[in-house]
Amino acid sequence: MDLIFQLEKLKEEALALISTAQSEKELEDLRVKFLGRKGEITMILRQIGKLSAEKKPIVGAKANEVRDWLETLIEDRLLRFKRSSFEEKLKSELVDITLPGRIPRRGRKHLITQTIEEIVDIFLSLGYWVAEGPEVETDYHNFTALNMPPHHPARSLWDTLYLKSPGEDLLLRTHTSPVQIRVMQKEKPPIFIVVPGKVYRRDVADSSHLPVFHQIEGLAVDEGITFADLKGTLEFFSQRMFGADKRVRFRPSYFPFTEPSAEVDVSCFCEGEGCRVCKGSGWLEILGAGMVDPNVFDEVGYNNEEYTGFAFGMGVERIAMLKYGVSDIRLFFDNDLRFLEQF
Ligand SMILES: [Zn+2]
């Protein structure tokens, strides 16, 4: 076939294909098809060498002209694709700067979280460190190791929810005290820890009880720790927490894991005159404490001739109620912002 005729046909075909191409990729493929190393124009150019001397320049000029025209056409179309995809991108990323911004509502820490941090900070300043443990506990850590073997009557004070678990007696921990056991099993004295966390009781919710609440446990174990250290520590804590003028009072009590045990009161905000909060007594009960029972040390393998220690535990909600004058514990978890925003 005559090469000039071939070139004309190729031009027609190329124009149809290039002008209907739908993407940059299609255009690149067409560039390869016509102008590539094995492209159709290249094939024609290679045949020119075999032509007669008079035809050579005519066909050669025509082939070059078609090649240049094709290159320009493809470039032009490519540019148009690039421009329109850029415009589309601009459109899709358009930001209407005339819209007023949405002001985010400023959050705050829940009063219970604030109270936990406040209490923990006081003990950190005394050199304590924070320990934590699982909320799903073994019966052993929650009761037995704390001097409450199965059928011990004190267990009924801390009724809880038991989990079905073959081979292991699991329950929702009733206090943060099992963490004492976990820490003492791993570490040697001296131990000075505070343990914040959630605890569970089989309690009906009323103005002073909830089935889930927060405790902070403290444990100090070393050589020569005495009841006087316990009193001094809790007096320091009470004055930092409730005010420098506060006095503390210890009343004898009973806990299976401490001996002797005490309920600890702090002097009321009414300065002893008697008010509704202290029910006229002038004192507010804030926590339970005592010297660690030697049986507990035996359980974790501490020599109870060498080491002594004290432990205390407080309800975070109760502390917050006393400090901030909250009359109903359920207010903390109703999550009514009108209440929470006050703190
Ligand atoms: Zn009072």
Instruction: Give me the mean pLDDT over the 238-257 stretch.
Output: 92
CATH number at residue 246: 3.30.930.10
Element (DSSP H or E) covering residue 59: helix 55-92
Same-domain pairing of 119 and 22: no
Q: Tell me if 21 is assigned to some domain.
A: yes
Task: Compute the mean pLDDT over every residue in the chain, rounded to the nearest whole number.
Answer: 89
Please tell me the distance between residue 267's alpha carbon and the centre of ligand 1 in angstroms.
Answer: 8
Euclidean distance between CA atoms 237 and 15, whole angstroms? 89
Domain, as residue range, for 45: 3-92
Given this model, what pLDDT does residue 240 score?
A: 94
Given this model, what pLDDT does residue 1 score?
A: 55
Same-domain pairing of 61 and 210: no
Same-domain pairing of 254 and 292: yes
Q: Tell me if 268 is assigned to some domain.
A: yes
State the pLDDT confidence band at 215, using cuts at 50, 70 and 90: very high
State the pLDDT confidence band at 53, using cuts at 50, 70 and 90: confident
Same-domain pairing of 48 and 137: no
Element (DSSP H or E) covering residue 113: helix 111-124
Q: Tell me if 97 is assigned to some domain.
A: no
Euclidean distance between CA atoms 313 and 142, whole angstroms? 14
Number of domains, the chain:
2
Q: Are strands 162-163 and 136-138 parallel, antiparallel or unpaired?
A: unpaired
Give the percent of the chain with pLDDT over 70: 100
Q: Which of 92, 125, 148 is the last residue of a domain?
A: 92
Please tell me the distance between residue 173's alpha carbon and the centre of ligand 1 in angstroms.
Answer: 33
Q: Tell me if 332 is assigned to some domain.
A: yes
Q: Tell me if 102 is assigned to some domain.
A: no
State the pLDDT confidence band at 20, using cuts at 50, 70 and 90: confident
Q: Tell me if 229 is assigned to some domain.
A: yes
307: tokens are 């080491």
Given this model, what pLDDT does residue 237 score?
A: 95
Please tell me the distance between residue 48's alpha carbon and the centre of ligand 1 in angstroms.
Answer: 113
Q: Which of 42, 58, 92 is the last residue of a domain?
A: 92
pLDDT at residue 262 greater than cutoff 70: yes
Euclidean distance between CA atoms 66 and 49, whole angstroms? 18
Same-domain pairing of 180 and 49: no
Please tell me the distance between residue 286's alpha carbon and the centre of ligand 1 in angstroms.
Answer: 13
State the pLDDT confidence band at 235, using cuts at 50, 70 and 90: very high
Same-domain pairing of 152 and 258: yes
Instruction: Specify the higher pLDDT residue, 224 or 155.
Output: 224
Please tell me the distance between residue 265's alpha carbon and the centre of ligand 1 in angstroms.
Answer: 12
Residues 309 and 220: beta-carbon distance below 8 Å: yes
Residues whose Cβ atom is located within 5 A of ion ligand 1 = 268, 270, 275, 278
Q: Which of 63, 92, 121 is the last residue of a domain?
A: 92
Euclidean distance between CA atoms 150 and 140, whole angstroms? 9
Please tell me the distance between residue 52's alpha carbon and the centre of ligand 1 in angstroms.
Answer: 122
Residues 191 and 309: beta-carbon distance below 8 Å: yes
Please tell me the distance between residue 272's alpha carbon and the centre of ligand 1 in angstroms.
Answer: 6
Same-domain pairing of 161 and 195: yes
Q: What is the pTM of this model?
A: 0.68
Euclidean distance between CA atoms 320 and 324, whole angstroms? 6
Same-domain pairing of 39 and 185: no
Given this model, what pLDDT does residue 40 score?
A: 86
Q: Tell me if 105 is assigned to some domain.
A: no
Same-domain pairing of 79 and 213: no
Same-domain pairing of 19 and 144: no
Please tell me the distance between residue 328's alpha carbon and the centre of ligand 1 in angstroms.
Answer: 17
Instruction: Specify the higher pLDDT residue, 312 or 44.
Output: 312
Given this model, what pLDDT does residue 325 score?
A: 84
Residues 198 and 257: beta-carbon distance below 8 Å: no
Please tell me the distance between residue 159's alpha carbon and the centre of ligand 1 in angstroms.
Answer: 31
Q: Tell me if 99 is assigned to some domain.
A: no
Tokens 């190729």 locate to 10
Same-domain pairing of 125 and 238: yes
Same-domain pairing of 141 and 252: yes
